[in-house]
């Protein structure tokens, strides 16, 4: 990943070259880009880089999982009602990955998003561990590191929770600001976090940040980190980013009740047919199950077993992720290569180069992101809406664009990224003309 100092040097370099352009040269450049843009338009592209969907070849990596449970297997009571918090095999399997014990994990249905929604819904309707339900409070707030994940923000918006965006700085959390907020404001009941290969920057929270979070003294007893480890095992390179285990750190300070941690196999096996889990303190688990017991008889135990049998050991899942990386890395490389080539001269424009996850963030020159996304759309390439990575869809700098290169084919990514680069420079020059 680029280091911040380098970014600043790069910006100086870029500024110089653009400042050297005469008005005429700028117009020439603009007209040249416009011609290229129109050539793209004539191709009648229809590409989608909006969502973090695995590509078809990735999905096929897990096809054999469909064969591991057949009518010949002795499934016994796993075919029946019961086992609200999941089968022991799955609790052990995912507990091993997340470094928690059986009484600190709930293995559930097919969606960690649902687990997060339901957990916030429970806070809203009933409250945590005897605290007041949030629907009875005047104001409830969540801290939202930005750029973040639009589906997180959609949940908090749905429950009328005020979102406090806290911009990432130096490719990390602004942890001082965050800890101050948590420790001082009793209306702050939660913080969204995607700690490793964050959606949508790909940044991983630093050791220093996690250590600081672990030592919070929340003003609200019912404050929780919504620790969405969606990309926990989703490295693109062999030497993936280190991430300190917040749950383990919290335990050092008797703070373990402040976390709900989420994980799923949606981007390991099949989205929609995967297994989602939540880890939390034993005390929280008892509280959560009390509510879950009214809502469901439990997740799909056969599918839980299907996953455990398929991977055999957690190491099997880790190995499986290397196959995903082999398919994803070239796609990320194409995007990075083209952005490096085409946008190196555009000032105030930079992008992330993550070691994992599903997204690259492009920070376009201020005030151009909406325009760029629209230009791309008009030429047949759908990107995530500008602003989507911010609460209420409002990027105050109108700069951020999330790039999701997993789904399209490599040649399509190349086309789409070239178009994106053209649109970015076009939109930038337009601010001068």
Q: Report the interface residues with its own copies, using CB under 8 A.
A: 51, 53-54, 56, 59, 62-67, 69-71, 73, 76, 78-83, 109-111, 113-114, 117-118, 121, 124-126, 133, 135, 151, 154-155, 158-159, 266, 270-273, 291, 294-303
CB 11 within 8 A of CB 347: yes
State the residue for tokens 């490295």. 235
Minimal distance in Å, beta carbon 67 to its own copies?
Answer: 5
Secondary-structure percent of the chain, ordered helix, strand, coil, rounded to 5: 50, 15, 40
Q: What is the dihedral of CA 389, 395, 400, 404, to 10 degrees?
A: 20
Q: Nearest 5°: phi and psi at 50?
A: -85, -40
**Residues 196 and 267: beta-carbon distance below 8 Å:** no
CA 182 to chain centroid, in Å, comes to 22
As measured in angstroms, the least distance from the Cβ of 105 to its own copies is 18
Q: Of 78 and 390, which CB lies nearer to its own copies in the complex structure? A: 78
Q: Give the shortest CB-299-to-its own copies separation in angstroms.
A: 7
With respect to its own copies, which residue has the nearer C-beta, 51 or 377?
Answer: 51
Is the Cβ of residue 37 or residue 407 nearer to its own copies in the bound state? 407
Return the structure tokens found at 183. 């420790």
Neighbouring residues of 327: CB distance < 8 A, sequence distance ≥ 6: 55, 57, 58, 61
Residue 69 or 212: the one with the smaller Cβ distance to its own copies is 69
Under 8 Å between Cβ of 192 and 142: yes
Q: How far is the CB of 158 from its own copies (least distance, A)?
A: 5
Q: Are 213 and 259 in contact (CB under 8 A)?
A: no
Cα dihedral 148, 152, 154, 158 sign:
negative
Residue 112 or 198 having the CB closest to its own copies: 112
Using CA atoms, how far apart are residues 49 and 53, in angstroms rounded to an integer? 9
- When the beta carbons of 331 and 371 are compared against its own copies, the nearer one is 331
- Measured between alpha carbons, how far is 279 from 95 in angstroms, rounded to an integer? 8
Pairing between β-strand 360-363 and β-strand 350-351 as defined by DSSP bridges? antiparallel
In the complex, the smallest distance separating the C-beta of residue 72 from its own copies, rounded to whole angstroms, is 8
Q: Do the strands 381-383 and 47-49 form a parallel or antiparallel pair, or are they unpaired?
A: parallel
Question: Which residue do the tokens 């191709």 mark?
Answer: 43
Least CB distance from residue 323 to its own copies, whole Å? 15
Minimum gap (Å) between residue 347 Cβ and its own copies: 37
Reference 71, options 302, 387, 417, 396; nearest CA is: 302
Smallest gap from Cβ 15 to its own copies, in A, equals: 41
For its own copies, give the closer residue by CB, 62 or 424: 62
Q: Which residue has the tokens 């993936």?
A: 240
Nearer to its own copies, 39 or 63 (CB): 63
Nearer to its own copies, 15 or 75 (CB): 75
What is the nearest approach in angstroms of its own copies to the Cβ of residue 59?
4
């Amino acid at each position: 990943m680029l280091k911040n100092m380098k970014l600043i040097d790069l910006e100086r370099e870029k500024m110089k070259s653009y400042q050297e352009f005469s008005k005429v040269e700028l117009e020439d450049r603009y007209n040249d880009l416009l011609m290229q843009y129109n050539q793209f338009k004539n191709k009648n592209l229809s590409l989608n880089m909006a969502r973090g969907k695995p590509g078809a070849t990735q999905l096929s990596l897990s096809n054999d999982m469909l064969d591991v449970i057949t009518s010949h297997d002795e499934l016994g009571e796993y075919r029946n009602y019961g086992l609200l918090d999941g089968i022991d095999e799955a609790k052990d399997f995912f507990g091993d990955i997340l470094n928690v014990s059986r009484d600190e994990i709930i293995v559930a249905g097919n969606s960690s998003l649902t687990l997060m929604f339901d957990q916030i819904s429970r806070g809203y309707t009933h409250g945590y561990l005897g605290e007041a339900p949030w629907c009875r409070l005047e104001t409830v707030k969540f801290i939202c590191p930005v750029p973040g994940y639009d589906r997180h923000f959609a949940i908090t918006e749905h429950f009328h929770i005020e979102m406090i965006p806290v911009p990432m700085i130096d490719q990390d959390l602004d942890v001082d600001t965050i800890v101050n907020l948590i420790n001082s404001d009793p209306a702050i009941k939660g913080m969204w976090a995607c700690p490793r290969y964050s959606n949508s920057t790909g940044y991983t929270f630093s050791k220093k940040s996690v250590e600081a979070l672990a030592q919070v003294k929340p003003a609200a007893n019912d404050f929780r980190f919504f620790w969405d480890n969606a990309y926990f095992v989703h490295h693109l390179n062999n030497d993936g980013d280190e991430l300190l285990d917040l749950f383990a750190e919290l335990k050092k300070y008797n703070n373990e009740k402040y976390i709900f941690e989420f994980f799923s196999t949606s981007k390991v096996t099949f989205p929609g047919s995967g297994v989602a889990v939540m880890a939390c303190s034993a005390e929280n688990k008892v509280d959560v199950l009390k509510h879950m017991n009214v809502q469901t008889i439990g997740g799909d135990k056969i599918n839980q077993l299907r996953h455990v049998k398929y991977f055999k050991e957690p190491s099997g899942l880790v190995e499986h992720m290397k196959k995903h990386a082999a398919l994803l890395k070239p796609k990320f490389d194409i995007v990075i290569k083209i952005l490096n080539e085409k946008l190196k001269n555009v000032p105030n424009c930079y992008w992330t180069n993550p070691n994992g996850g599903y997204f690259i963030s492009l920070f376009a020159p201020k005030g151009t992101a909406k325009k760029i996304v629209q230009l791309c759309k008009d030429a047949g390439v759908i990107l995530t809406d500008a602003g989507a990575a911010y609460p209420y869809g409002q990027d105050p700098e109108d700069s951020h664009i999330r790039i999701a290169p997993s789904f399209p084919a490599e040649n399509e990514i190349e086309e789409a990224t070239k178009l994106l680069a053209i649109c970015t420079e076009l939109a930038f020059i337009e601010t001068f003309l």
